[in-house]
Amino acid sequence: MKKMWRLFSVLMVATLLIGMLAACSGATGGSSSVSVGIVLPTKDEPRWVQDEQRFKDALADSEYTTEILFSQGSSAKEKENVETLLNKGIDVLIIAPHDGAAAGSAVEAAKKEGVTVIAYDRLITETDAVDYYVTFDSVAVGAAQGQYLIDNVEGSNVPLYLYAGASSDNNAFLFFQGAWEVLQPKIADGTFVIANSSEAVALKDKNELTRDELGKILGQVTTNWDPSEAINKAQTHLTAAGANLKGDIAILAPNDGTARSIADVYGSDSDISSYVISGQDAEKASIQYIIDGKQSMTVFKDVRTLVADAIGMAIDILDGKTPSTTGSYNNGKVDVKAKQTNVIVVDQENVKKELIDSGYYEASEFTGL
């Protein structure tokens, strides 16, 4: 009986010890502690999968622990991701929001924990809980798209089909604004006729649109960054178009994913003799479309630079230094200090130089180069 009792006591002490150890590692975060948390909007678009890869490449030899989570197009999932990272003890959060305004509550939770917040590529709006913003020059992206259409059409009364990104993404406004400011004088002088937006027609004499005015046009021509929605809209627009809105046309497509979908729709209509179509992101599939003559251009945003800027900022913050910035963006509530990167227009002429010779992609990833 005495023996049994001793065995029982030993077992009790062992169980207690194991319990205490487990609680300890939970409280300190143990090996799961992370210094920089990265949250990206969705894995469904190659653009963001590429950002993940570029982050991994850049962080391969880093002494800092990082973790990347995807929000899959859901603000609720995004908030959950931020909370997961906060529980892992992050000091810096790098976040590309799914919805710029809805992300406010996630970053406010991070700020409450003393975390420094860096908005990545997309601005987080209507909150003071964002410290820095790393971005491409998004107005310049739109201007480059619009200018390409202008430079590559001939004659006058060229039907112009307008498409835009999601209204929940501040960038969609900046891209459209940049494009509109160069296209509008060419609409006013009769080079283009707007084919698919009564709101844009109503504003055709105005060059600088307010956010509300831009919002009205976006409301009609948004793709929501969704290739399927882009296809549906393009089909509807083509069905409604009379013969005077076919022939040789121009299409403002906001990014590569939607450009390929829209190009497929217009390209399969026998009454469309030719089209010029814009894009952005230099996605591999669109580079192949450009080589094949199915997409006219893309705006190359070198994600390596954006990643390097975001990580550089994070490391400065972890080292107690103030990151360097080049300007600021107003997010509706505060001016957010920003670092901005330039973009490059790519078409058949320079695709090899900019994307292959520069080491961004391998020639073997494409056919017919």
- Using CB under 6 A as the binding criterion, the count of chain residues that bind ligand BGC stands at 11
Q: Considering the rule CB under 6 A, would residue 309 count as an interface residue with ligand BGC? A: no
Q: Is 255 in the site for ligand BGC (CB under 6 A)?
A: yes
Cβ 162 to ligand BGC shortest distance, Å:
17
- Which of 191/298 has CB closer to ligand BGC? 298
**Closest residue to ligand BGC using C-beta atoms:** 255
Give the shortest CB-234-to-ligand BGC separation in angstroms: 17
Backbone angles phi, psi at 53, to 5 degrees: -60, -45
For 70, the 3-state DSSP assignment is strand
| Three-state SS sequence of 6-43 | HHHHHHHHHHHHHHHHHHHHHHHCHHHCCCEEEEECCC
Question: Distance between CA atoms of 192 and 157, rounded to whole angstroms?
Answer: 5
Which of these ranges, 111-119, 164-172, 192-200, 317-325, lies near ligand BGC under the rule CB under 6 A?
164-172
Among 131, 137, 169, 309, binds ligand BGC (CB under 6 A): 169
The number of angstroms, rounded, from the C-alpha of 147 to the middle of its chain's C-alpha atoms is: 21
Q: Least separation, in Å, of the C-beta of 61 and ligand BGC?
A: 27
Task: Please say which residue, 146 or 165, places its beta carbon nearer to ligand BGC.
Answer: 165
Q: Cα torsion at 72, 75, 79, 85 (round to 10°)?
A: 30
- Which of positions 92-151 make contact with ligand BGC (CB under 6 A)? 121-122
- Is residue 161 within 8 A of residue 193, CB to CB? The reply is no
What interhelical angle do 284-291 and 256-267 show, nearest 10? Answer: 40
Between the CA of residue 365 and those of 44, 45, 303, what are the distances in Å?
20, 18, 18
We find the least distance from the C-beta atom of residue 210 to ligand BGC, in angstroms, to be: 21
Q: Which listed range, 64-72, 144-152, 165-173, 208-216, lies at the site for ligand BGC (CB under 6 A)?
A: 165-173
CA 183 to chain centre: 23
Report the 10 Å Cβ neighbour count for 232. 14
**In the bound complex, what is the minimum distance in angstroms from residue 160's beta carbon to ligand BGC?**
21
Q: How far apart are CA 287 and CA 352, in angstroms?
A: 10
171 binds ligand BGC (CB under 6 A): yes
Per residue, what are the HEC states of 326-367?
A: CEEEECCCCEEEEEEECCEEEECCCHHHHHHHCCCCCHHHCC
- 43 vs 206, beta carbon nearer ligand BGC: 43
Residues 279-308, mask of contacts with ligand BGC (x by CB under 6 A): -xx---------------------------
Tell me which of 36, 45, 298, 366 binds ligand BGC, using CB under 6 A. Answer: 45
- Only one of the segments 74-82, 163-171, 176-184, 355-363 lies at the binding site for ligand BGC (rule: CB under 6 A); that segment is 163-171
Of 144 and 153, which has the nearer Cβ to ligand BGC?
144
Q: Nearer Cβ to ligand BGC, position 139 or 318?
A: 139
Q: Which residues bind ligand BGC (CB under 6 A)?
A: 45, 47, 121-122, 165, 169, 171, 225, 255, 280-281
